[in-house]
Amino acid sequence: MKLAIAAFTDRGEALAKRLGAPVTRIGGNVSLADWTAARFADSDALLFVGAAGIAVRAIAPHLKSKATDPAVLVADETGRFVIPILSGHLGGANALAEEIAAKLQATAVITTATDLRGVFAVDLWAKTQGMTVLQPERIKRVSAKLLAGETVAVDCPFPVEGEPPEGVRIGSEADVIVSVRPEASGALQLVPRCLTLGIGCRRGVSAEQIETVFRRFCFERRVLPEAISAAASIDRKRDETGLLKFCECRGWPVRFFTADALKATEGSFAPSDFVCETVGVDNVCERSAVCASGGEILEKKYASDGVTFAIAVTQPELDWSW
């Protein structure tokens, strides 16, 4: 995690330097408000070595969502306590507090009810399994049922290794749904990142054009973009600026394959004589998705405005650890 530390006194600064992360001394020419705004945007975690009230007031204008806010912690300048105050599970503040406390020989003060009572934490499970929480505001509903001693149902089409924890069962009419497609129920939805997007495009198409077709593709085929972890195409598109920018904006690594490698990919694909004459293989989007993922086609070729998409799926490796 990219940790940024703010200290307010000599003693606090000396303590912070023991953690081996960049330390900023607040005061003088360094504004707490400016530092907090910048670090909230570019850091995974913020540690304030000082009073908790100072930290709370500093971060208040920047709070957006528990799914996106960085971890925020406070440590007193004597090094007695480390307290996570924001994004304990999804942001990793609780785990980081334990780690920092061990380094400082301090006490981590964990206040999250599910942690204190050893109850299954669905948001922490999602983070551990690499899944995206689609509606973070629904986490509290699931946690409340578990803390009340009730059972929650998880609907998951993929196998999950091990036995469900206490209070959790696999079943329908679920409180939690694991899916790569949008669900209309009021359940909390978790999205595994198990899809690979294959892309084909005509020369010179812009990133904005690709994005427009992609959104239409996801809507019409009922696929959640959050489930996509990577993209792929033919090596002739390696220098295609629009494709590269589109993937960069989405945060996806993109792999490129030769025509021969794509032709050798096994499976049933929608052939195109025009594509074969142009790039040397009868299908780019479907073949590249399968070639990159080693999986199988989930969504076949979709073509619009000079762009083609297809999606391959691999089975996510899930277990009940959290």
CA angle (299 as vertex; 293, 305 as ends), nearest 5: 105
Residue 120, token pair as written in the block: 């299954």
**pLDDT (tens digit per residue) in 52-85:** 999 999 999 999 988 899 999 999 999 999 999 9
Q: Please tell me the predicted confidence (pLDDT) of residue 261.
A: 96
pLDDT at residue 172 above 90?
Answer: no
The pLDDT tens digits for 129-170 are: 999 999 999 999 999 999 999 999 999 999 999 999 999 999
Residue 206 has pLDDT above 90, yes or no: yes
Task: Supply angle C-alpha 130, 287, 265, rounded to 5.
Answer: 100
pLDDT band at 178 (very low <50, low <70, confident <90, very high): very high
Question: Which tokens hold the place of 82?
Answer: 């480390």
Extract the runs of DSSP E, i.e. beta strands, from 145-258: 152-155, 160-161, 168-170, 176-178, 188-192, 195-201, 228-234, 254-257
Helix (H) or strand (E) holding 108: strand 107-108
pLDDT of residue 67: 86
Alpha helices in the chain (DSSP H): 10-17, 32-42, 52-59, 93-104, 113-117, 122-128, 139-147, 207-221, 241-250, 259-263, 273-279, 285-293
pLDDT at 317 over 90: yes
Cβ proximity of 91 and 69 under 8 Å? yes
User: Which pLDDT band, with edges at 50, 70 and 90, does 278 fall under?
Assistant: confident
109 pLDDT above the threshold of 90:
yes
Would you say residue 295 has pLDDT above 90?
Answer: yes
For residue 184, what pLDDT band results from cuts at 50, 70 and 90? confident
Contact call for residues 195 and 232 (beta carbons, < 8 A): no
pLDDT the model gives residue 203: 93
pLDDT > 90: what percent of the chain? 92
Q: How far apart are CA 299 and CA 313, in angstroms?
A: 9
| pLDDT over 70, % of the chain | 100
pLDDT of residue 4: 97
pLDDT digits (tens, 9 = 90+) for 237-264: 999 999 999 999 999 999 999 999 999 9
